[in-house]
């Protein structure tokens, strides 16, 4: 790194390591992402991106209180940042606070009239958690070529009784990702409420009946 004190670079590097973790699910990869993100926040405590990146990493490490602190710190630093609000919306969905989640997504889309596509992905997590499976499918079907999205989509199809479509997704990803199953990914989803994770797994079990 040309400038070891450039805080923004650490948040991007942490995001990259977090993405790698979502492909290998090795604990050391996630811990590396947390360490890098922490370094960035320490260098610049007023970086909204730094805080929200660290908050996201901590969420997947199931450190819910610390994750909430950094998500809310990001919002305090930059309350008009649509990306911060979308990330907070997904955090609240994982916590089961669905009204708050919906409010944050409304604000995120209002502030970002041309949002990045992941806004729709993250809002679809909230739709799934709320049991709005049709809305969840409408969001995730656009991204069905991505493993994480396809996992939620297969579960939603299972709940809707669209077993044929669910089965085709399972078969497609069983062939293309023989070392990683939808159940592996679901097991790492950071739902605070056991019933929400069970809903995800139940949908996948129903999808398996195809």
| pLDDT tens by residue, 51-63 | 999 999 999 999 9
Confidence (pTM): 0.93
Tell me, rounded to whole angstroms, the distance of Cα 132 from its chain centroid.
Answer: 17
| Cα–Cα distance measured from residue 57 to residue 68, given in angstroms and rounded to the nearest whole number | 11
Angle, alpha carbons 143-147-148 (nearest 5°)? 80
Structure tokens at 109: 């889309």
pLDDT tens digits for range 108-144: 999 998 999 999 999 999 999 999 999 999 999 988 8
């Amino acid at each position: 790194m040309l400038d070891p004190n450039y805080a923004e670079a650490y948040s991007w590097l942490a995001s990259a390591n977090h993405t790698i973790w979502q492909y290998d699910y090795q604990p050391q990869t996630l811990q590396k992402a947390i360490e890098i993100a922490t370094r960035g926040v320490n260098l610049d405590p007023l970086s909204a991106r730094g805080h929200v990146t660290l908050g996201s990493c901590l969420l997947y490490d199931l450190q819910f209180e610390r994750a909430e602190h950094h998500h809310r710190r990001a919002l305090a630093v930059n309350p008009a940042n649509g990306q911060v609000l979308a990330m907070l919306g997904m955090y609240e969905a994982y916590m089961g606070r669905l009204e708050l989640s919906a409010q944050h997504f409304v604000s995120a889309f209002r502030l970002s009239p041309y949002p990045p596509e992941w806004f729709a992905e993250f809002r679809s997590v909230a739709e799934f958690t709320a049991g709005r499976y049709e809305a969840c499918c409408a969001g995730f079907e656009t991204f069905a070529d991505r493993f994480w999205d396809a996992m939620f989509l297969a579960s939603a199809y299972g709940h809707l009784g669209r077993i044929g479509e669910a089965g085709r997704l399972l078969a497609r990803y069983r062939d293309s990702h023989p070392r990683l199953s939808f159940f592996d990914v679901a097991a790492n989803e950071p739902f605070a409420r056991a019933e929400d994770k069970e809903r995800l797994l139940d949908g996948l079990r129903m999808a398996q009946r195809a």
